[in-house]
Chain A
Amino acid sequence: MEDNNEILLMKGNEAIAHAAIRCGCDGYFGYPITPQSEVLETLAKEEPWKITGMIVVQAESELAAINMLYGGGAVGKKVMVSSSSPGIALMQEGIAYMAGAELPGLIVNVQRGGPGLGTIQPSQGDYFQATRGGGNGDYNIIVLAPASVQEMADFVDLSFELAFRYRTPVMMLSDGVIGQMMEKVVLPPMKPRRTMDEVRAECPWAAIGMKGKGKSVVTSLELMPREMEQHNLSLQKKYAEIRAKEVRFEEYMTDDADYLIVAFGSASRIAQKSIEICRSKGLRVGMLRPITLWPFPTEEIKRLCNHVKGILSVEINAGQMIEDIRLAVEGRVPVHHYGRMGGMVPGPDEIVEAVERMRV
């Protein structure tokens, strides 16, 4: 794998695997589930243990995979898992433990429809699960929503950077559309894996043996209520810092917009087409695309309320992100939702009709 800016054509799931190898990932743990199995398959084919020394383990379950992620994070390594919605549900225990023990790690969710076994077709039905913590206790994880194959590749390195900066799990909330579709992509440059000495220096908390650093204990347990409350307060302080510094979003034709669409991931790609159609009809519509779903771009939506007459939340679910939009809007403009479920993906015209309905 040479370092160049060659433009390649590949699936989102494949891009994640290639990006992981190239950005110095130390380990991947996974369990097959549609529509994301290409991540594990691509890694198995590439044999990164021969290239960079990155390990790849096909775990016995998602439960084991997420605990391998916990173990990898606990030894200060750049580690990741990928799965799809039902598998991510199974991983929530481990994610909560990682949040409690303040461990870095990347979780990729290539969403499919639910609830339960649901369907293998795309969905954005895990918005709540991703942005509300998902497991037990008071915590949040950083959630990035890629909207292209290029972002599937780019967000791997970004996720690791954020995961280690804040010692927190980071989730890439993708879906079956972005995971399965093929697009042009330029892979990130090759970066070496950190050496053990670098890990010891950068992660003095890591349980990699006491050599040169003294005893480390990685745990989420504390039975003394006062001390546990202090731990929770320090977690909340960290989350406040993330909210203040790490909100990411993209705006599309919002400057003169009368109506605003808020959409993330694959829904934002469809909505972009809808906006072109609306504009050709003389309807001034723009879009805010949250790139981080947590922290959510609350302030930007608040600001846009000053000049839009209505907001449409376009999601491939029954209406989940709309709650965060309404919390930002605080009743100042009407907020509507348009979405499909069960693996159905809305077409651009359906969204145009939903925008037109807002006018009357």
Chain B
Amino acid sequence: MVNEDIIQEENLVYKKPRLLNDTPMHYCPGCSHAVVHKLIAEVIEEMGVEENAVGISPVGCAVFAYKYIDIDWIEAAHGRAPAIACAAKRLCPENLVFTYQGDGDVACIGTAEAIHSLNRGDNITIIFVNNAIYGMTGGQMAPTTLMGMKTVTCPYGRQADIHGYPLKLTEIAATLEGTCFVSRQAVSNVAYIRRAKAAIRKAFEYSMQGKGSCLVEIVGTCSSGWKMTPEQANQWMEDRMFAFYKLGDLKDGGSN
């Protein structure tokens, strides 16, 4: 039996989503972004909204998200994606509009834009990938860096008296009247990936149904920034990150 005999439609058990193209990704080994990209591509494909989907990419490691997922994209200034999404959605309400942002982008420089877009109920979804560090610029302290965690700008560990405390943007989002669905997920194993995909799907459906704004946080790793192997990073995330950033739905107001 040759490969061509095996590669038949009826033997397929898994395939990459069509919207995820073959451009080699620039992400480091072990990075969570690639999995999140795949989930977004899958959900858009399964919902059949690829011709109506508009993503807003951030400044940070995911700045080139537009190179990998074949939908329309708008590249934002650092932190401003939700303001751009607000206009893109209100001017074309039939479209699925989502932002894809890291912790520095959405929970630091763009906190105001994120909170106000969520609270206006702009009917957008924010996908917030939180790896507690600035990856692209070389591993600096992020708004979500845990207490005691070492980065190049807090080399002796994050200390409250010098650096203040990690920000739980997702918990804040859950208190806002304008949000419909707020959830925190992870993508480090198959079970987590399935739950994360279901959360993204729910968020996209609610925003398409005009039920309000949604936020899905994905707690992720940054092996390069954390100076760990991908395996160590996953373990450290499950031990330390999940203790502070608890997984699960914080708010689901869309089902009624």
Closest A residue to B54 by beta carbon equals A207
Given A57-B86, A59-B83, A211-B52, CB of A79 within 8 Å of CB of B91: yes
B83 contact set on A, CB distance < 8 A: 59, 63-65, 67-68, 70-71
| Chain A residues within an 8 Å CB radius of B51 | 209-212
Contact residues of A: prevailing secondary structure: mixed
Query: How far, in Å, is A79 (CB) from chain B's closest CB?
Result: 7
* Closest chain B residue, CB of each to CB of A101: B75
Residue interface mask B88-103, A partner, CB < 8 A = 1: 1011100100000000
Residues of chain A at interface, number, CB under 8 A: 39
Residues of B within 8 A of A221 (CB): 63, 75
Q: In the complex, what distance in Å separates the CA atom of A70 from the CA atom of B50?
A: 22
Contact indicator B50/A210 (Cβ below 8 Å): yes
Task: Establish whether residues A218 and B52, one from each chain, have CB atoms under 8 Å apart when the complex forms.
Answer: no
Whether A94 contacts B77 in the complex (CB less than 8 A), given A60-B113, A64-B113, comes out as yes
- Give Cα A94–Cα B116 distance, bound, in whole angstroms: 18
- For the complex, give the distance between the alpha carbons of A216 and B51 in Å: 11
Taking CB atoms, residues of chain A closer than 8 Å to B72 are 207-210, 215-217
A287 CA to B54 CA, complexed, in Å: 50
With A60-B113, A94-B77, A219-B75 known to touch, is A209 a contact of B90 (CB < 8 Å)?
no
| A61 engages B112 (CB within 8 Å) | yes
- Chain A proximity of B12: nearest CB distance (Å): 25
Contact flag A79-B71 (CB < 8 Å), given A196-B92, A207-B54, A221-B63: no
Contact of A154 with B by CB under 8 A: no
A-B pairs with beta carbons under 8 A, tally? 125
Interface string of A51-81 (1 = CB under 8 A from B): 0000101011101110111111011010100
A114 at the interface (CB under 8 A from B): no
Chain B facing A: main interface SS: helix
Residues of chain B with a CB closer than 8 A to A27's CB: 87, 90-91
User: A26-B91, A61-B112, A64-B116 in contact; A208/B75 too (CB < 8 A)?
Assistant: no
Check A259 for interface membership: any CB of B closer than 8 A. Answer: no
Interface residue from B50, B75, B87 paired with A68 (Cβ < 8 Å): B87
The answer to whether B70 has its CB under 8 Å from any CB of chain A is yes
Whether the pair B77, A55 counts as a contact (CB closer than 8 A) is: no
Contact partner, A74, options B50, B53, B88, B120, Cβ 8 Å: B88
Residues of chain A contacted by B90 (CB below 8 angstroms): 27, 55, 57
Q: Determine the distance from Cα of A68 to Cα of B72 in the docked complex, in whole angstroms.
A: 17
Bound state CA distance, A217 and B75, in angstroms? 8
B236 to chain A, nearest CB (A): 31
Q: Which of B71, B73, B80, B116 contacts A218 (CB 8 A)?
A: B73
Interface membership of B85, Cβ < 8 A: yes
Shortest B98–chain A CB gap in Å is 12
- In the complex, how many angstroms separate the beta carbon of A20 from the nearest chain B beta carbon? 14
Q: Which residues of A contact B76 (CB under 8 A)?
A: 67, 70
A-B contact pairs, 28 of them (CB 8 A): A27-B90, A55-B90, A59-B83, A60-B113, A61-B112, A64-B80, A64-B86, A65-B83, A67-B77, A67-B80, A67-B83, A67-B84, A71-B88, A72-B87, A72-B91, A74-B74, A77-B87, A77-B91, A94-B77, A207-B73, A208-B72, A209-B53, A209-B54, A210-B53, A210-B72, A217-B74, A218-B74, A219-B75
